Homo-oligomer: A and B are copies of this chain.
Amino acid sequence: MTTDKFWSTMAKRAEPYVPGLQLNNPDIIKLNTNENAYPPSPKVIEAIKDAASKDLQLYPSPTADRLKESIANHYSLSNDQVFVGNGSDEVLAFSFMAFFEPGETIKYPNITYSFYPVYAKLFDIPFEEVPLNDDLTIEPESLFQSDGGVIFPNPNAPTSLYMPLASVEAVIQANENKVVIVDEAYVDFAEASAASLVNKYKNLLVIKTTSKSRALAGLRVGYALGDQSLIKALIRMKDSFNSYTIDRLALAGATASFEDKDYFNQTTEKIVATRERATKQLEAIRFDVLPSATNFLFIRHDTENAAELYEKLLEKNILVRYFDVPLVNNYLRVTVGTNEQMDELVHKLKEIIE
């Protein structure tokens, strides 16, 4: 029998995040955690194999300068405008610690990445969940004038919807004394990143990941772009928590990824093309498909119940994600896989519906 006699107040009040299932069944088509449809660049795998034979007994670079430089070059920023961490979730956690304050209410959308309330509860930061518009877009004005700061994903998850950069800029301007975090896990599949605004606004932090567009979910490398002062605060948090958060292999692999631009562009274009193709296929069988700017689709059927569709798809070895929360509990979130996987999905959905 488990007792919480020894738990701190923090351990007791925490309400942990529940990640999507990681099933080990190779027969399952896995469209539930928005992983890339393709493996990472062969150059990434080479770089990792090379690093595996070299000095694993030595600590990695605590400052990760080489990786930072590759990232800085990619966005035409300087090294001291880049922070790197163990996946964007860790970068988000450090950001909640560094920029948000117990007693000052932060704002984020009421339908969004479900890790935000987890961080807020862990660090005792009050939050206001502002309602989406009826079409499930984020209303920029709802994020204006926050007491404690703002965080939102762009594109938003799980809705897949993109907020134009002019609106993002309006949110930043309307919170000039607080940090605005734009969580861009999926932005490489969208129109434009707020990275281009980093030199313009001292209160903007853009958080990104290599897990989606760079096919490196298995490596755990996320990063943040922002003013030197914000980056310095994140480094302070990391160096007060864990000096070396990214191992030698992940440093080597992620650096190689940023240096192979062609592979990145090709796979991203393929996924966007499959997304548009799958959208049409799903609309043809009477799904409402939100206009996705990500590598997933948020879909709702005319007549079929989403929870039931989820179960029936799983019986047919297709795993998607279903969120049993108000407003979106009749939607399914479906990762954009390969054309073949999406054909199979549509085929099975037809079998279920008919």
Contact = CB atoms under 8 A, between A and B. Distances in A.
Interface of A: 2-11, 14-19, 22, 30, 33, 35-40, 44-45, 48-49, 52-53, 55-62, 86-87, 89-90, 93, 97-102, 118-119, 121-123, 177-179, 202-203, 211, 215-220, 228-230, 232-233, 235-237, 239-250, 253
B119 A240 contact: yes
Contacts of A49: 48-49, 52
15 contacts: A7-B99, A10-B97, A11-B97, A11-B98, A11-B99, A16-B239, A22-B59, A33-B59, A49-B52, A56-B253, A60-B220, A86-B242, A89-B242, A121-B240, A249-B249
B237 A89 contact: no
A56, A216, A229 pick with most chain B CB within 10 angstroms = A56
Nearest to A205: B6
A90 B52 contact: no
Contacts of A240: 14-17, 118-119, 121-122
Contact of A178 (B6, B218, B232, B246): B6
Contacts of A211: 59
A30 B56 contact: no
In the complex, the count of this chain's copies comes to 2
Contacts of A241: 89-90, 93, 119, 122
A238 to B, nearest CB: 8
Contacts of A99: 6-8, 11
Nearest to A102: B9
